[in-house]
Amino acid sequence: MRTEVRHAVNPEVPSEAYVAFNANVNPESTNSLLTVLTQLSQAGTKRVVLCMSSGGGQVATAIGLMNLLPQLPIELVTHNIAQVGSAGNLLFLCGAKRFANQNALFFVHRPTWSPMDGREFMQRL
């Protein structure tokens, strides 16, 4: 299954863009997200609203995002539009400002992680 990260620039405020992330956190979705955010940043976008719904994913990949996203020269706003679970919470917490729809869900569980996740992520970069 191909992961798509969609985005749109607000025509009234060209320095603001909305990005839809409806995927689990994995190397493919992470690369798609980073590509879009980098392109928006290079185009002069200053503020990105990340509208997200994620059932979770790989913890090592999410930790990588937590280290990379603050380095981008954009203000990242995260918005839970449906559900954010497991490793998706780490991505949600990357927002300088965070919002959630009234009926949005957050769920957590005991972490499960293995060093294999980190090696796989590094190999795919």
Distance (Å, rounded) from C-alpha 31 to C-alpha 108? Answer: 24
pLDDT tens-digit profile of 54-76? 999 998 899 999 999 999 999 99
Output 125 or 12, whichever has higher pLDDT.
Answer: 12
Residue of 1, 49, 55, 60 lying closest to 28 (CA atoms): 1
Domains of the chain in sequence order: 6-124 (3.90.226.10)
pLDDT tens-digit profile of 100-114? 999 999 999 886 656
Pairing label, strands 16-22, 6-9: antiparallel
Instruction: Tell me which H or E stretch contains 116.
Output: helix 115-124
**pTM for the structure as a whole:** 0.81
